[in-house]
Amino acid sequence: MQIVSQLDPLRNAVDALKATGTLALVPTMGALHEGHLTLVRAAKAQATHVAISIFVNPRQFGPKEDLAKYPRQLERDCALLEAEGVSLVWAPTAEAMYPQGYATTVSVDGVSDGLCGAARPGHFDGVATVVAKLFNQVRPDVALFGEKDWQQLAVIRRLARDLDLMLPRAEAILGVPTVREADGLALSSRNAYLSAEDRAAAKALPNGMKAAIAAIRAGTPIAEATATLNAALVAAGFASVDYAEVRDAASLEPVAMLGPVPARLFVAARIGGTRLIDNMPL
Protein backbone atom coordinates (compact mmCIF):
# COMPACT_ATOMS: atom_id res chain seq x y z
CA MET A 1 0.00 0.00 0.00
CA GLN A 2 1.37 3.40 -1.01
CA ILE A 3 0.91 6.46 1.21
CA VAL A 4 1.50 9.79 -0.52
CA SER A 5 1.07 13.39 0.60
CA GLN A 6 2.21 15.41 -2.43
CA LEU A 7 0.69 15.76 -5.90
CA ASP A 8 3.55 14.55 -8.10
CA PRO A 9 3.90 11.17 -6.31
CA LEU A 10 0.11 10.90 -6.35
CA ARG A 11 -0.05 11.34 -10.13
CA ASN A 12 2.62 8.70 -10.62
CA ALA A 13 0.84 6.27 -8.30
CA VAL A 14 -2.54 6.84 -9.94
CA ASP A 15 -1.08 6.38 -13.44
CA ALA A 16 0.48 3.07 -12.40
CA LEU A 17 -2.75 1.79 -10.84
CA LYS A 18 -4.97 2.84 -13.74
CA ALA A 19 -2.59 1.14 -16.18
CA THR A 20 -3.52 -2.20 -14.59
CA GLY A 21 -7.25 -1.78 -13.97
CA THR A 22 -10.01 0.44 -12.67
CA LEU A 23 -9.75 2.70 -9.62
CA ALA A 24 -12.32 3.45 -6.92
CA LEU A 25 -12.03 6.40 -4.54
CA VAL A 26 -13.40 6.66 -0.99
CA PRO A 27 -12.92 10.21 0.34
CA THR A 28 -12.65 10.45 4.15
CA MET A 29 -11.46 12.79 6.87
CA GLY A 30 -9.82 9.92 8.72
CA ALA A 31 -10.63 8.66 12.23
CA LEU A 32 -11.84 5.57 10.43
CA HIS A 33 -14.54 3.29 11.84
CA GLU A 34 -16.54 0.34 10.60
CA GLY A 35 -18.67 2.62 8.44
CA HIS A 36 -15.60 3.72 6.48
CA LEU A 37 -14.35 0.15 6.20
CA THR A 38 -17.74 -0.87 4.81
CA LEU A 39 -17.21 1.74 2.09
CA VAL A 40 -13.76 0.29 1.41
CA ARG A 41 -15.18 -3.21 1.01
CA ALA A 42 -17.92 -1.93 -1.29
CA ALA A 43 -15.26 -0.13 -3.34
CA LYS A 44 -13.25 -3.33 -3.73
CA ALA A 45 -16.31 -4.90 -5.35
CA GLN A 46 -16.48 -2.06 -7.87
CA ALA A 47 -12.89 -1.68 -9.08
CA THR A 48 -9.52 -3.36 -9.42
CA HIS A 49 -7.83 -0.91 -7.06
CA VAL A 50 -9.06 1.23 -4.15
CA ALA A 51 -7.70 4.64 -3.20
CA ILE A 52 -8.62 6.33 0.08
CA SER A 53 -8.17 10.02 0.72
CA ILE A 54 -7.62 11.19 4.29
CA PHE A 55 -7.85 14.95 4.66
CA VAL A 56 -9.48 17.00 7.41
CA ASN A 57 -10.83 19.72 5.15
CA PRO A 58 -10.74 23.10 6.91
CA ARG A 59 -13.05 24.66 4.32
CA GLN A 60 -16.07 22.65 5.46
CA PHE A 61 -15.78 23.68 9.11
CA GLY A 62 -17.40 26.85 10.42
CA PRO A 63 -15.56 29.29 12.74
CA LYS A 64 -17.19 27.80 15.86
CA GLU A 65 -16.99 24.14 14.78
CA ASP A 66 -14.66 21.34 15.84
CA LEU A 67 -11.79 21.58 13.31
CA ALA A 68 -9.09 21.82 16.00
CA LYS A 69 -10.33 18.81 17.98
CA TYR A 70 -11.39 16.65 15.04
CA PRO A 71 -9.54 13.32 15.59
CA ARG A 72 -6.41 12.79 13.51
CA GLN A 73 -4.87 9.30 13.66
CA LEU A 74 -3.20 8.66 10.33
CA GLU A 75 -0.97 5.80 11.49
CA ARG A 76 -3.91 3.83 12.90
CA ASP A 77 -6.05 4.58 9.86
CA CYS A 78 -3.37 3.39 7.45
CA ALA A 79 -2.95 0.13 9.38
CA LEU A 80 -6.69 -0.52 9.05
CA LEU A 81 -6.62 0.29 5.33
CA GLU A 82 -3.61 -1.92 4.63
CA ALA A 83 -5.42 -4.82 6.31
CA GLU A 84 -8.36 -4.21 3.94
CA GLY A 85 -6.15 -4.42 0.86
CA VAL A 86 -6.25 -0.74 -0.12
CA SER A 87 -3.76 0.16 -2.86
CA LEU A 88 -3.28 3.88 -2.23
CA VAL A 89 -3.76 6.38 0.58
CA TRP A 90 -3.81 10.03 -0.47
CA ALA A 91 -3.13 12.04 2.68
CA PRO A 92 -2.29 15.52 1.43
CA THR A 93 -0.97 18.30 3.58
CA ALA A 94 -3.11 21.44 3.83
CA GLU A 95 -0.50 23.21 1.71
CA ALA A 96 -0.73 20.57 -1.03
CA MET A 97 -4.51 20.84 -1.15
CA TYR A 98 -4.75 24.62 -0.79
CA PRO A 99 -1.45 26.22 -1.85
CA GLN A 100 -0.61 29.79 -0.96
CA GLY A 101 -2.89 32.18 -2.81
CA TYR A 102 -5.64 29.59 -3.33
CA ALA A 103 -8.77 31.54 -4.34
CA THR A 104 -11.31 29.16 -5.90
CA THR A 105 -14.54 27.90 -4.34
CA VAL A 106 -17.12 25.57 -5.88
CA SER A 107 -20.78 26.04 -4.95
CA VAL A 108 -23.75 23.80 -5.72
CA ASP A 109 -27.13 25.53 -5.46
CA GLY A 110 -30.44 23.88 -4.71
CA VAL A 111 -29.59 20.60 -3.02
CA SER A 112 -27.17 22.41 -0.69
CA ASP A 113 -29.92 24.69 0.61
CA GLY A 114 -31.71 23.91 3.86
CA LEU A 115 -30.96 21.13 6.35
CA CYS A 116 -27.20 21.17 7.08
CA GLY A 117 -26.76 23.85 4.44
CA ALA A 118 -28.83 26.23 6.54
CA ALA A 119 -27.40 25.12 9.88
CA ARG A 120 -23.79 25.24 8.68
CA PRO A 121 -23.37 28.15 6.22
CA GLY A 122 -20.57 27.53 3.73
CA HIS A 123 -20.21 23.87 4.70
CA PHE A 124 -21.25 22.43 1.35
CA ASP A 125 -19.13 24.94 -0.55
CA GLY A 126 -16.17 23.43 1.31
CA VAL A 127 -17.36 19.90 0.55
CA ALA A 128 -17.92 20.61 -3.14
CA THR A 129 -14.55 22.35 -3.47
CA VAL A 130 -12.51 19.57 -1.89
CA VAL A 131 -14.37 16.78 -3.68
CA ALA A 132 -13.90 18.51 -7.05
CA LYS A 133 -10.19 18.67 -6.31
CA LEU A 134 -10.06 15.03 -5.17
CA PHE A 135 -11.80 13.86 -8.35
CA ASN A 136 -9.32 15.81 -10.47
CA GLN A 137 -6.35 14.60 -8.46
CA VAL A 138 -7.21 10.88 -8.23
CA ARG A 139 -9.27 10.57 -11.45
CA PRO A 140 -11.30 7.62 -10.16
CA ASP A 141 -13.61 5.49 -12.27
CA VAL A 142 -16.07 5.32 -9.39
CA ALA A 143 -16.40 7.04 -6.01
CA LEU A 144 -18.26 5.86 -2.92
CA PHE A 145 -19.89 7.86 -0.13
CA GLY A 146 -21.98 6.93 2.91
CA GLU A 147 -25.72 7.53 2.83
CA LYS A 148 -25.60 8.85 6.41
CA ASP A 149 -24.54 12.14 4.83
CA TRP A 150 -27.39 12.04 2.31
CA GLN A 151 -27.39 15.76 1.57
CA GLN A 152 -23.64 15.62 0.95
CA LEU A 153 -24.20 12.72 -1.44
CA ALA A 154 -26.82 14.74 -3.33
CA VAL A 155 -24.45 17.71 -3.56
CA ILE A 156 -21.63 15.54 -4.90
CA ARG A 157 -23.83 13.84 -7.48
CA ARG A 158 -25.00 17.22 -8.77
CA LEU A 159 -21.43 18.53 -8.74
CA ALA A 160 -20.13 15.59 -10.76
CA ARG A 161 -22.98 15.78 -13.24
CA ASP A 162 -22.80 19.54 -13.76
CA LEU A 163 -19.01 19.72 -14.13
CA ASP A 164 -18.52 16.40 -15.97
CA LEU A 165 -16.13 15.29 -13.24
CA MET A 166 -16.84 11.57 -13.50
CA LEU A 167 -17.96 9.16 -16.14
CA PRO A 168 -21.32 10.27 -17.61
CA ARG A 169 -23.35 7.66 -15.76
CA ALA A 170 -25.29 7.79 -12.52
CA GLU A 171 -23.58 4.77 -11.01
CA ALA A 172 -20.17 6.48 -10.99
CA ILE A 173 -21.15 8.06 -7.64
CA LEU A 174 -22.32 5.28 -5.34
CA GLY A 175 -24.11 5.66 -2.02
CA VAL A 176 -23.53 2.95 0.58
CA PRO A 177 -26.19 2.35 3.26
CA THR A 178 -25.58 3.72 6.75
CA VAL A 179 -23.76 1.42 9.16
CA ARG A 180 -25.24 1.42 12.65
CA GLU A 181 -24.35 0.39 16.19
CA ALA A 182 -26.34 -2.40 17.83
CA ASP A 183 -28.73 0.18 19.35
CA GLY A 184 -29.30 1.85 15.99
CA LEU A 185 -27.08 4.93 16.31
CA ALA A 186 -25.38 5.73 13.01
CA LEU A 187 -21.62 5.28 13.10
CA SER A 188 -19.75 8.58 13.05
CA SER A 189 -16.29 9.78 13.98
CA ARG A 190 -18.02 12.36 16.19
CA ASN A 191 -19.57 9.63 18.35
CA ALA A 192 -16.18 9.48 20.09
CA TYR A 193 -16.91 12.91 21.59
CA LEU A 194 -19.91 11.58 23.53
CA SER A 195 -19.69 10.89 27.24
CA ALA A 196 -20.98 7.51 28.43
CA GLU A 197 -24.19 9.17 29.60
CA ASP A 198 -24.73 11.04 26.34
CA ARG A 199 -23.90 7.96 24.30
CA ALA A 200 -26.59 6.01 26.14
CA ALA A 201 -29.10 8.79 25.53
CA ALA A 202 -28.16 9.12 21.85
CA LYS A 203 -30.09 5.97 20.93
CA ALA A 204 -33.20 8.13 21.24
CA LEU A 205 -32.29 9.61 17.85
CA PRO A 206 -32.72 6.48 15.67
CA ASN A 207 -35.52 5.17 17.89
CA GLY A 208 -37.41 8.45 17.67
CA MET A 209 -36.94 8.57 13.92
CA LYS A 210 -38.35 5.06 13.53
CA ALA A 211 -41.34 6.02 15.66
CA ALA A 212 -41.95 9.17 13.57
CA ILE A 213 -41.75 7.19 10.34
CA ALA A 214 -44.19 4.60 11.67
CA ALA A 215 -46.57 7.37 12.70
CA ILE A 216 -46.39 9.07 9.30
CA ARG A 217 -46.98 5.80 7.52
CA ALA A 218 -50.00 5.25 9.76
CA GLY A 219 -51.49 8.58 8.71
CA THR A 220 -50.16 11.09 11.22
CA PRO A 221 -49.48 14.44 9.50
CA ILE A 222 -45.78 14.98 8.86
CA ALA A 223 -45.68 18.25 10.82
CA GLU A 224 -47.23 16.58 13.86
CA ALA A 225 -44.91 13.56 13.71
CA THR A 226 -41.76 15.67 13.39
CA ALA A 227 -42.88 17.95 16.26
CA THR A 228 -43.35 14.87 18.43
CA LEU A 229 -39.90 13.63 17.42
CA ASN A 230 -38.36 17.00 18.31
CA ALA A 231 -39.96 16.94 21.75
CA ALA A 232 -38.89 13.32 22.34
CA LEU A 233 -35.26 14.12 21.59
CA VAL A 234 -35.20 17.07 23.97
CA ALA A 235 -36.87 14.95 26.65
CA ALA A 236 -34.21 12.26 26.14
CA GLY A 237 -31.37 14.69 26.85
CA PHE A 238 -30.60 16.37 23.52
CA ALA A 239 -29.81 20.05 24.01
CA SER A 240 -31.46 21.15 20.75
CA VAL A 241 -32.70 19.95 17.38
CA ASP A 242 -31.39 21.79 14.33
CA TYR A 243 -34.01 20.21 12.10
CA ALA A 244 -36.36 17.25 11.80
CA GLU A 245 -37.85 17.33 8.32
CA VAL A 246 -39.20 15.09 5.58
CA ARG A 247 -37.78 15.87 2.16
CA ASP A 248 -37.83 14.51 -1.37
CA ALA A 249 -35.03 11.95 -1.55
CA ALA A 250 -33.66 13.27 -4.86
CA SER A 251 -34.33 17.02 -4.98
CA LEU A 252 -34.33 17.54 -1.18
CA GLU A 253 -37.37 19.76 -1.55
CA PRO A 254 -39.64 19.80 1.54
CA VAL A 255 -42.48 17.27 1.53
CA ALA A 256 -45.81 18.12 3.18
CA MET A 257 -47.43 14.72 2.64
CA LEU A 258 -46.32 11.34 1.35
CA GLY A 259 -46.81 10.61 -2.33
CA PRO A 260 -45.37 8.43 -5.08
CA VAL A 261 -41.94 10.11 -4.95
CA PRO A 262 -39.42 8.58 -2.49
CA ALA A 263 -38.93 10.70 0.64
CA ARG A 264 -36.60 10.61 3.62
CA LEU A 265 -36.68 11.84 7.19
CA PHE A 266 -33.67 14.04 8.00
CA VAL A 267 -32.61 14.96 11.55
CA ALA A 268 -29.74 16.89 13.11
CA ALA A 269 -29.60 17.27 16.88
CA ARG A 270 -27.05 18.28 19.49
CA ILE A 271 -26.19 16.36 22.64
CA GLY A 272 -23.33 17.08 25.02
CA GLY A 273 -21.84 19.58 22.59
CA THR A 274 -21.82 17.05 19.73
CA ARG A 275 -23.95 17.45 16.62
CA LEU A 276 -25.38 14.16 15.32
CA ILE A 277 -27.10 13.71 11.96
CA ASP A 278 -29.14 10.87 10.54
CA ASN A 279 -31.66 10.11 7.82
CA MET A 280 -33.99 7.23 7.03
CA PRO A 281 -36.22 6.39 4.05
CA LEU A 282 -39.97 6.79 4.14
> For residue 238, which of 267, 199, 200, 271 has the smallest C-alpha distance?
271
Domain residue ranges in the chain? 2-176, 189-281
Reply yes or no on whether the pLDDT at 163 is more than 80: yes
**118 beta partners:** none
| Rg, Å, the chain Cα set | 19
- Angstrom distance (rounded) from CA 280 to CA 282: 7
- Which of 3.40.50.300, 2.40.50.100, 3.40.50.620, 3.30.1330.20 would CATH assign to domain 2-176? 3.40.50.620
Strands in 263-271's sheet, in edge-to-edge order, are 240-248, 263-271, 274-281
Predicted structure pTM score: 0.93
SS3 155: helix
The catalytic residues are: 36
- 8 A C-beta contact, residue 97 and residue 130: yes
CATH class of 189-281: alpha beta
CA–CA distances in Å: residue 182 to residues 31, 206, 207, 236: 20, 11, 12, 19
Q: How confident is the model at residue 169 (pLDDT cuts 50, 70, 90)?
A: low
Q: CA 114 from chain center: how many Å?
A: 16
User: What tens digit of pLDDT does each residue of 229-264 get?
Assistant: 999 999 999 999 999 999 999 999 999 888 888 999
pLDDT computed for residue 168 by the predictor = 47
Reply yes or no on whether the pLDDT at 76 is more than 70: yes
Q: What percent of the chain has pLDDT over 90?
A: 89
User: What tens digit of pLDDT does each residue of 6-35 get?
Assistant: 999 999 999 999 999 999 999 999 999 999
